[in-house]
A and B are shown apart, each in its own frame.
Chain A
Amino acid sequence: KAGVTQTPRYLIKTRGQQVTLSCSPISGHRSVSWYQQTPGQGLQFLFEYFSETQRNKGNFPGRFSGRQFSNSRSEMNVSTLELGDSALYLCASRRGSEETQYFGPGTRLLVL
């Protein structure tokens, strides 16, 4: 079974721009969560989508948003990029009835 995939893998943007990242979950997984990983703050939960609905949200500003499509693929968007948004963005998928989350390879975002 194919694992979680994320595109693009690397991205360079400038301050003020916006960016969209994509995540395709493992087949049959209906939940997708997004995390931000930085050296200083570690792994932080952004939000979770299940059946196209945001179910949980972490402590991030409204510039961070997401959505999920009917095929469970998810996108996250960051508007008005700041230097501090430079990070590895990881998504993780799981079956809706289980807790175990499987991570994708991440998208490394650099904001200049």
Chain B
Amino acid sequence: GENVEQHPSTLSVQEGDSAVIKCTYSDSASNYFPWYKQELGKRPQLIIDIRSNVGEKKDQRIAVTLNKTAKHFSLHITETQPEDSAVYFCAASIGTGGGADGLTFGKGTHLIIQP
């Protein structure tokens, strides 16, 4: 089955700096890659996703890049703010348009924004 590796497990950055979280996946059939943010005691919330027919996607301060050949994808957060502090999870699945397999998640990255 699919295996998703996520690094680093903890990332501390100064407020205003950029943060990058990287993930690799094993199954070349995976074609859907969402990123979730989970604050303490709350539900995971989708922040951005990308499909394998797209190399990069951006939404304000957040961007995701995908390298299908290398089977890795990354989350980039620019101009970090205190409210960006949370655990971030990457995931992969095989989307078929008519449905998708369950999401396989990375172990998460605890992002700490230092004031």
Contact = CB atoms under 8 A, between A and B. Distances in A.
A42 B107 contact: yes
Interface in B90-113: 91, 93, 95, 97-108
Nearest to A33: B102
Contacts of B46: 100-102
Contact of B106 (A31, A42, A48, A55): A42
Contact of A105 (B32, B43, B97): B43
B45 A59 contact: no
A100 B34 contact: yes
A45 B4 CA distance: 13
Classify chain B's interface size: 20 to 34
Nearest to B96: A99
Interface in A36-69: 42-48, 50, 55-56, 58-59
Classify chain A's interface size: 20 to 34
A58 B103 CA distance: 10
A31 B100 CA distance: 10
Contacts of A50: 99
A96 interface: yes
15 contacts: A33-B102, A42-B107, A45-B103, A45-B104, A48-B101, A50-B99, A90-B44, A99-B49, A99-B51, A100-B46, A101-B34, A102-B46, A103-B44, A105-B43, A106-B43
Nearest to B36: A103
A101 B92 CA distance: 12
A55 to B, nearest CB: 6
Contact of A99 (B95, B105, B106, B108): B95
Interface string B29-65: 0001010100000111110010100000000000000
Given A42-B108, A43-B89, A103 B45 contact: yes
